[in-house]
Every structure is written in C-alpha cells, then in structure tokens.
Amino acid sequence: MNPTELERRALSAVSAAATSDELERARVEYLGRKSELKLALRQVRDRETGMTLNALRERLERAIAEREAELERAELDRRLAEERVDVTMPGEPVPRGHLHLITQIRREVEDIFLGLGYTVVDGREVETTHYNFDALNFPPGHPSRSPLMTLFLDEETVLRTETSPSQIRTMEAQEPPVYMVSLGRVYRRDTPDATHTPIFHQVEGLAVDEGITLGDLLGTLDYLLKALFGEDRSTDFRIHHFPFTEPSVEAYVSCHLCDGSGCTVCRHSGWIEVGGSGMVDPNLFDVVGYDKERYTGFAFGWGLERIAVLRHGIPDLRELWRNDPRLLEQF
Amino acid sequence: MRAPLSWLREYVTVDASTEELARRLSVSALEVDRIIDVGVADIDGNLDRFLVGRVLEVVPHPNADRLRVCQVDVGEGDARQIVCGAWNFDAGATVAVALPGALLPTLDVPLDERELRGRLSRGMILAEDEVGLGPDHAGIMLLPDTLEPGTPLVDVLPIREQVLDVTPTINRVDLLSMVGLAREVAALLDGELHPPEPEDPEVVDREPVEVVVEDPEGCPRYIGRVFRDVSVGPSPQWLRSRLHLAGMRSISNVVDVTNYVMLVYGSPLHAFDRSKLSGGRIVVRRARPGEALRTLDGVLRELDPRDLLITDGEQPVALAAIMGGEESEVGTETTEVLLEAANFEPLGILRSSERHALRTEGSNRWEKGVDPHLAEPAAVLASRLIVDLSGARLTGHVDVHSGLPERPVVRFRPTRASRLIGMEVAEAEQRALLTRFGFDVSPEWEVTVPTWRARDVTREVDVIEEVARAVLDRVPHTMPLRRHVRGRLTKEQRLRRVVEDVLVGAGLSEAYTWSLVASDPRPDAIRLPDPMSADQAVLRTTIVPGLVAAARTALDVGADAVRLFEIARVYLPSGERLPEERWRVAGVVRGGYATVKGVLETLYGALHLELRVERGEHPLLHPGKAAVTAAGWLGELHPTLLEGTWGAFELDLADLFAAVPERVVYEDVLTYPAVRQDIAVVVDEEVEVGALVDAAREAGGTLVREARVFDVYRGEQVGTGQKSVAIHLAFQSPERTLTDEEAAELRERIVAALAERFGARLRS
Ligand SMILES: [Zn+2]
C-alpha cells in the first residue's frame, strides 16, 4: 500500500462527497474497519510505519470532520433559505394597557417639577369654605362663592373649586421654604360642553422663599410651557386678577397649529391661554403665620384637561371622560 | 364692553395703531377679546366717496309710487340727481350720501350710476344700517343742518370704525367706561388725556326734589334731578351710532342719554317719568313682605325683603341698580323726568341680581363696586345732554349722601417693588407711572389712591401691582435660587405609579370616571343637597360601578378584550365635617374569578406582597365567587351588572401599601440547592386549597421554600364529593444542602398534617 497514493485518493473522495451519505461512504472506505488503512495499521510491526500511518489516519479523520461541518452548514443554509416567512405578517398579540392621557400629563408635570426640586402634595377634594375661599382671600360676593358656580355640601363645605386650598394646608404644615406642586380633581357647577366638564384636573404650584420674584414666576412658567408644548414655542404673560395672588398673571403660549399667525383654535390671536398665576397675596401669609416682609412667593393653577386638548388637538374635552377605548388607546 | 376707537380717541390722543393699543392694554390692563372692524372699507379712496349732502329738491318719481327723485348738493357745484325710496325727509334735509364707486358693507359690488325706472340715480342717500351705524332701515339718516354739503362723512360719523371688545377683570370696574379706558391708554402709551368736561345746565324755576334714603348703607349716594318740558323723541344720529357700535340699542333721546353716560363714566343712571311717581318723591328702602314690581322687561317680580328698592314713597318704581319699573318708564308722552345718578353697595345688588336671575348693564357694574364720586359728573353730563337733545329745562337738584369715602393712603417703597418684580425699575419711572394712573405720590412715597381704585388698591402690594403690570413685558425670566429643596415623591406616590405601571403591563387600560354618581351602594354616602343633575348627586364610596359603566361604553363601541382600571379617591362618611378621602385602585376585567385573581397576584408580586384571600361577600359580586383581602375585595362581577363574565376588584391603597417592605433583604437561595417534591392528596370538595397550602407551610416550617397548588382533579378515580389536589413543594436551607432523608421527613410531616387536619389521603 502506498500511503501517499492512499491519502490522495481519500482526500479527493472526501472533498467530492456532496451529501452526508456520500461522506459516510468515503469514511467507511478509507477509515472503516475493513479499510486498507485499518488493515495496514493492524499489520504494522515497526514504530516508524506506525507513526506514519497514524498521522495519515488523523489527517483523514480531520478532513472528514471538516467536510462534515461544511456539509452541515450547507444543509442548514439550505433549510433556512426555505424557512422564509412573510415578515409583514402581524405578530402575536401581547395584551397592552394604556395610561390615561391625563395621568401621562400629570406625571410629566410632576417630573418637571421634581427635577426642579419641588415636592408633590396630595390635597383633599372636599374642603371647608375656610380653605377653599376665606384663607385664599376670596372677598365676600366673589362669584365663585355662589352656589351657582360651586357645589356645596352644606354652608361651610364645598367640593374644592381649585387645587389652591393645598397651598394653605401645605404652608400650615411646614415652615418656608416651600416648593411644591399638587395635582388633582376640582369641581365646578359648569354645564358640560366642548371646553367644560363639572369635574376636571388642575395642577397647583407654589414656591415660597426669601427673594422669590415675579421674574422667577415668569421664568418657571416659561420653562414649564416649553417643556409641555415644545422648546420652539413662545410664551406671553398678561396681567389678570385672582383673589389669592397679587399681582396676577395669565400665561399664554404661541399657537402650535398656526405658529402664531392666527387660526380658529387660537381665535385668530396666535396665542393660547393656558392658565392663571401670580405672586402669593400677603394675606395668605397672614393666614398661615408666615413673615410677609421676609418671604415672597408665587403660585399657579392650570387645568390638565386644557393642556391635553390644546396639545393633542382633541376637539371636545368631554371625550377625556367618556372612556372610549378608541380614544384612550391613541395615547 | 365694546369700545369704539373713534370714541376712545376723542378722550385720548395717542400715537399708536389700534393693534399696538390692544396689545398694550391686553398685557397690562385687561383682556382684549378681539378687534372688530365695522363700517365701510378704507381702501382705494373709498372713504372719499361718502359725503354730507343737502337735499335741494324732492319730487315724486313719475314711474314709481314708492320712489322719489331728489336733487342733492354734495359740494360739487352742480346738484346730483339721486332716486331714493325713503320718505322720512324733505327738501332742506341734511343727509349722508354715497357716490358711485363706493364700496358698502352691505353690497358685494361697488355702487353704480344707474337708471331706476327711467330716471338716472347718481349715488345713494344712506340709511344707518347701510354703513354699520345701526339696525334701522325704515328711513335715511338725518344729520345736523349745520354741516356743510361736501364734508367728508367720516369726519361726522364713525362710518369707518374699529371696536375693541374688552373684558376687564372683576376688580377693574373702572375700565367698564370710556373715560377709564382712555385713562389707561394714556397711562400705558404715554398719551394725552382729555375727558369730557360738560357744562352743567343752569337750574331754572328751581323746585324742591325730595329724596329720602332710608338705607344709606345700601345707597350711599343719590343725586336726583328734575327736568320739565322734556320732548321725548329719537336720538341724533351720532348718539344712535355710538350706542350701536358699543353694542346697545337706541330707544329714545332720554333713555339713550342715560346709557351713553353710563358708557362714558361707568356709573349707571336711570330716568323716571316723574308724573308716574304717585308719591311725587323718591324713597330708597328695602322691600316689604308681599311687595311686587313689574320691571321694564315685563316680568312681575315678587320682591324679597333683602331687595333694595327705589320707591315713590308709596309704590316701588325700580329694583335699585338692576332694572326700572314698567309703570314709571320714560315714553313718548313723558314731559317730566326725574334723573337718578346714584351709588349702590355692591354685595346686596349682586345678591338681588342672583335672586331674580336678572343681570343688566347696570347691575354688572354696581355689583363690582362703582366709585361714588362718579355720580356727580354723570349727572352733569346727562343733564347737559337731556337739555340739549330734548329741549328740557333742569328745574331741581338734590345730592343725598353722608360724606363720600376718603381716598386710601398707602406707604410705598419703590425698592420693595423692584425686589418683588425682580427687576430694577427706576424710582422716577415708578413715580411717573403711578401718577399717570391717577395716584398722587408725595415726595416721601405716601401714595394716595384715586377714588376709582379705592376698593381695589389699599396695600403696598396693590400699588406694586400697578408698577408691575406696566413693566410686565420687560420682566426678565429667572428661576428661584432653590437653596433648600428636596424634591421627591413620597412612598405612597411612588407606589401609586408602580400600581399604574404594573396594571398597564398586565394589559389594563386606565379609565377616568366621575366621582359624583347617581347612587352608591352605601346608604350613608354623602349626597349633594343641590346637585347639577340626578346623575351626579352622590360622592362615591366605591369606584367599580364607574368602571362597569366604562366597560359598557367599551363594549358598545365594539371592543372585546376589555380590561380597565382606575386610581381615584372615594369619600367615606367620617362623622366629622369632612369625609375621609381614601385612594383606591379598582379594576374590571373580562374573564372570571381566575382572571382577576391573576391580575392581583401580578400586582401583589410586583409590590413584594403575598396575595392572601378569604371567602367573602360584596353587593357587586357573584355570591359564590367573592373574596376579601386585607386591603379590599375581588371576585366575579354580579351577573346582573354586566352581560358576560367579568372580574372586578377594589383595593385601598394605604392599606395595600402599609405592608410593602421598605426594602427587600437578600435571602440566600443560590448556595444550596432546593429539593423539589410533588404530592397529590385527596380531600373533600369543601376543603379550600389555600388552607392545604397554609397547613403544608405550617407543618414544614421555615425549610419550605415553596408550596403551590398546580392541579386539581375531580373524577371517578377520586370519588364523588372529593378532589385530588396536586401540590408542588420545594425545601431549601440557606445553611446546608438538605439530605434526601431530611426532605422525605419534611414531606411526611406535611402529609401527616394534611391527613390529620383535612382527612387528606395521599394519592400514589
Ligand atoms: Zn392658531
């Protein structure tokens, strides 16, 4: 037997094998029990021939293993090529819930103010007229005190008409400085229409410290408005009047639909009114026992539904309370 | 309020466009809702085509009964022939003429020279509605005969007008007047103010005017003036036009004067037909029980003893400050007028106005607190106009008051203003601003408030507001220094978010439902005494009914896999003034008991809590499929509530969160392997699998790492009334590897305990 010749023939047979069957036949022929090589190995008498033939056997075994891997790989490639799917077919559904849009905005506002170092306060919804009106400096005869505008439980108890009672309760509970926001439901005797529901949500903000200025209020609201409506918006502030702030300021943001040039959403003014704010009236500090010479503060109270309908273009605010999944699942 | 610009600019000279003016006012004074364009267009010399004309000759149209042919001098030398359909004038009348080419707001195309029934018409004699100056089309406008033909009409009448539609805040009743607005414009835009300075007519043939104010608190001032020889008729065109542009209707010269002067000064007036005042005098008092008054709107009103009345000494003749009586109304027959220029206390007027559900231009001002000093200039201007327009004589005057209020004096620190605003405003500028707003500022900064702001400005901070609003546009945007802030959510707030997120992850969508409901399972739930509707009458003590309604909405629009939750307050009667408000989480999910329990197991797991339930009952639940937990309840919804099979739960969040560990402490489950064993025991059907698991844990002690039911089998092999419960057990020690012997012993102890407690037989 000529090892060189044998090796040439064997390697050629291995590389010619196109299937695993053919490869197996080649293996049996060249490395099987009755193969020329195995027979020769059994008859080896001298060390040198033994080493030569064993080396040959190892080389053949390696060649077969390599060829086998090649064939397997080719087989896998072929199978994978046949296993195509229509990648545009839908996936298996995984149940997915949705946070209500108002909750999403509530969290957004909370996170904005947490980032600024404010705390979040949970106020209460049923309030005494003391916290809802008197302590907030509502004069006698203010329209909000009328049962035509407010839901009374009895003469001295109301469903809060704004989140502002949380200002008084927070200040009563702690010394300055105060940096807090409070979000929740408020109640008004409003006939439901596209822009009113008798129950809606507000965010109240309050900052009381030494040296708080009107500029701080405007800067904070400018930051909030741009965070909510986009950095490219402009903001505008105009004088207003509220019982619990002096001076009072109404905040506006440039209309996102017409970019300020005028459309029906902004009533052709280019501006959208977002909500009220102002410098805390010193009478409130008297109520809670803060030193009104030493401390100043600002506060604001905005409607979350209003932010939602303005920002997302929802034509009718009542839809946010109708729980139609077709609407809830858009957000 | 609607403020025509031509009127406003009569009282203030300012170098600013209407838009600039509106912008400045809206930032620093009051809300400008919009600018309304009225009248004829100011393009391509259109205004030049509107002229004053004098009618020289009027003859009937030969071919048309309803038309006349007029020769009109419009200052061109030759007269113009104009065919006209109006009959309220004759030769010599001074009229308003539009020339051919004129663009009229009521026409789509320019006016044309044209033949009307064979006669050429070279223009049009104008009625007020054709140029936006009024609603009337019955006749053409008649102008004062002193006007020269050819005078541009725009110099005489506001045919080209812009009207500011403004809404002052409740504290700025002074801005519900043309003079107030003009003063604000002058101050904010550095204009020159020239308010009307009418000359009071002389009193002739003086007669006494008897006015008795029995309630000086309700009526701190009452000026009564008497006029004789009054000739009531239509108002001149300028007056009609101004009222129209201001949004009011022209009624008659005398009534129009009262409305006009109210718009000028913001202090409402009223005119009575004096001959109808049977007592011949004025007595201001509260109503008496049983009294009634038919007001100008024709409504007979039962009066409340709290209502303030103007009476004639016998009968009520006006609901004070709100509306006059029909009986004493000024009409065409009226020849004697008693003019009321008074002042009324706001709160009582507001209450009366609410009681009678009657709001008028007058009450809208009085309820905000009108400056009592204004009664006098209002009386003077009204007298001047009544005398001038109705040919009347002023014959009597009385002014009843017990001293007018002093102007408040406020100590003011300009440095404090700059500090609060957050910007250095020069002292000279502050002084100039305050002065322009009508404040008197002493060299020592003692600030005396003008009478028209006396109710609103009483403290230093109120004066600071005056400076702040004027410079609002310039205030720099800054952030508070926040040297001591510690902003983070509380544990409960963080966990609320976890609950929201876990439920959303479990496929539930969040709903928002009303906290006011039609009815509540708890009979003592708080009920509103005067709800808006029967649907929103009770403060809920449970959220699930709202979610049931929301689920029905979802079904109605075709959703099928409905899974809803809500986190909200409930309002539990507490025996105190205020109810106990508790945060709850509730859910309604399509599927049975196992579905809802699966949701809660996921939720509890996420909170590191074990969900332990006991059989329970709840009015909203299927009686056989109801369970309670330490924090609330869960179960299958009672089938009468919603068609199909539904699970529901409601948990009190404070109770739920109370057991949530502050932090999870590491337990060694890695070092030594667990030994796992399954057992199946046969027990009576009534035995709850939870009890088996509890007993297994108890018997096995701390080495039981897991004990969980994974199968329940009923059938012939276990016999009727029995079930086979398969329990997966895992034993593990944090200190060593348990031997097979130890595991076998634990297993035997458990099997023995189950046999003893529940008669459980081990299935092979
Ligand atoms: Zn717009």
Domain end (from B401, B431, B465):
B401
Statement: residue B258 has pLDDT above 90:
yes
**Domain-located, residue A136:** yes
Q: Do B526 and A128 touch (CB under 8 A)?
A: no
DSSP annotation of B515 = S
Identify from B19, B184, B188, B479 which residue to disrupt to test chain A contact, counting A C-beta atoms within 10 A and taking the largest count: B479
Statement: residue A260 has pLDDT above 90:
no
Query: Does one domain contain both A74 and A201?
Result: no
**Number of cross-chain residue pairs from A and B with Cβ atoms under 8 Å apart:** 229
Domain count, chain A: 2
pLDDT confidence of residue B55: 96
Query: Does one domain contain both A285 and A161?
Result: yes
Q: Which residues of B touch A126 (CB under 8 A)?
A: 526, 539, 571, 578-579, 581
Query: Does one domain contain both A113 and A153?
Result: yes
Query: Does one domain contain both B123 and B266?
Result: no
Statement: residue A321 has pLDDT above 80:
yes
pLDDT in tens, B698-747: 999 999 999 999 999 998 888 899 999 999 999 999 999 999 999 999 99
ipTM entry: 0.90
Domain end (from A50, A82, A114):
A82
Query: Does one domain contain both A178 and A245?
Result: yes
Structure tokens given for B193? 């103010």
pLDDT confidence of residue B156: 92
Residues of chain B with pLDDT > 70, as a percent, come to: 100
CATH number at residue B371: 3.50.40.10
Query: Does one domain contain both B650 and B701?
Result: no
Q: Do A95 and B506 touch (CB under 8 A)?
A: yes
Mean pLDDT of B359-384: 96
Query: Does one domain contain both A277 and A317?
Result: yes
How remote is the CA of residue B25 from the centroid of ligand 1, in Å?
21
Domain count, chain B: 6
CA B478/CA B475 separation, integer angstroms:
9
Instruction: Check residues A95 and A188 and name the one with the higher pLDDT.
Output: A188
pLDDT confidence of residue A236: 96
Q: Do B488 and A247 touch (CB under 8 A)?
A: no
Q: Do A95 and B561 touch (CB under 8 A)?
A: yes
**Domain-located, residue A254:** yes
3-state class (DSSP) for residue B546: helix
pLDDT in tens, B392-433: 999 999 999 989 999 999 999 999 999 999 999 999 999 999
How remote is the CA of residue B17 from the centroid of ligand 1, in Å?
23
Q: Do B420 and A185 touch (CB under 8 A)?
A: no
**CA of A179 vs chain B CAs: smallest distance (Å):** 7
Which pairs with CB-CB distance under 8 Å and at least 24 residues apart come from A58-61? A59/A7, A60/A7, A60/A10, A60/A11, A60/A14, A60/A30, A60/A31, A61/A31
Query: Does one domain contain both B495 and B469?
Result: no
Query: Does one domain contain both A55 and A107?
Result: no
Mean pLDDT of A266-287: 94
How remote is the CA of residue B570 from the centroid of ligand 1, in Å?
40
Phi, psi of B378 (to 5 degrees): -65, -45
Asked if residue A231 lies in contact with residue A222, where contact means CB atoms within 8 angstroms, the answer is: no
How remote is the CA of residue A224 from the centroid of ligand 1, in Å?
20
pLDDT confidence of residue A143: 87
pLDDT in tens, B263-276: 999 999 999 999 99
Q: Indicate the residue of A115, A122, A237 with minimum beta-carbon distance to B472.
A: A237
Which string of DSSP letters, residue by residue, matches B372-386?
GGGHHHHHHHHHHHH
pLDDT in tens, B225-251: 999 999 999 999 999 999 999 999 999
CATH number at residue A267: 3.30.930.10
Between A252-261, B11-20, B467-476, the lowest mean confidence (pLDDT) is in A252-261
**Domain-located, residue B665:** no
Statement: residue B615 has pLDDT above 90:
yes
Q: How confident is the model at residue B77 (pLDDT cuts 50, 70, 90)?
A: confident
pLDDT confidence of residue B712: 95
**Domain-located, residue A47:** yes
Domain end (from B446, B474, B502):
B474
Q: How confident is the model at residue B184 (pLDDT cuts 50, 70, 90)?
A: very high
**Domain-located, residue B485:** no
Query: Does one domain contain both A249 and A159?
Result: yes
The residue range of the domain holding A63 is 3-82
Q: Which residues of B touch A116 (CB under 8 A)?
A: 479, 482, 485, 487
Identify from B34, B421, B482, B567 which residue to disrupt to test chain A contact, counting A C-beta atoms within 10 A and taking the largest count: B482
Domain end (from B624, B658, B692):
B658
Write out residues 125-154 of A within 8 Å (CB-CB) of B: 125-128, 140-143, 146-148, 151-154
Packed helices A47-82 and A20-31: angle between N→C axes, nearest 10 degrees: 170
Query: Does one domain contain both A107 and A50?
Result: no
Query: Does one domain contain both B509 and B564?
Result: yes
- Given CB atoms, is A92 within the 8 Å cutoff of chain B? no
Query: Does one domain contain both B359 and B294?
Result: yes
Statement: residue A284 has pLDDT above 90:
yes
Query: Does one domain contain both A233 and A125?
Result: yes
Q: Do B487 and A113 touch (CB under 8 A)?
A: yes
**CA of B587 vs chain A CAs: smallest distance (Å):** 12
Q: Where are the alpha helices (DSSP H) in chain A?
A: 3-16, 20-31, 36-42, 47-82, 101-115, 129-132, 165-173, 214-229, 282-288, 304-312, 325-328
pLDDT in tens, B575-598: 999 999 999 999 999 999 999 999
The residue range of the domain holding B462 is 415-474
- Given CB atoms, is A24 within the 8 Å cutoff of chain B? no
**Domain-located, residue B670:** no
- Looking only at the bridges linking them, the beta strands covering B308-311 and B316-319 are antiparallel
Q: Which residues of B touch A240 (CB under 8 A)?
A: 31, 169
Asked if residue B660 lies in contact with residue B608, where contact means CB atoms within 8 angstroms, the answer is: yes
Mean pLDDT of A292-297: 98
**CA of A201 vs chain B CAs: smallest distance (Å):** 11
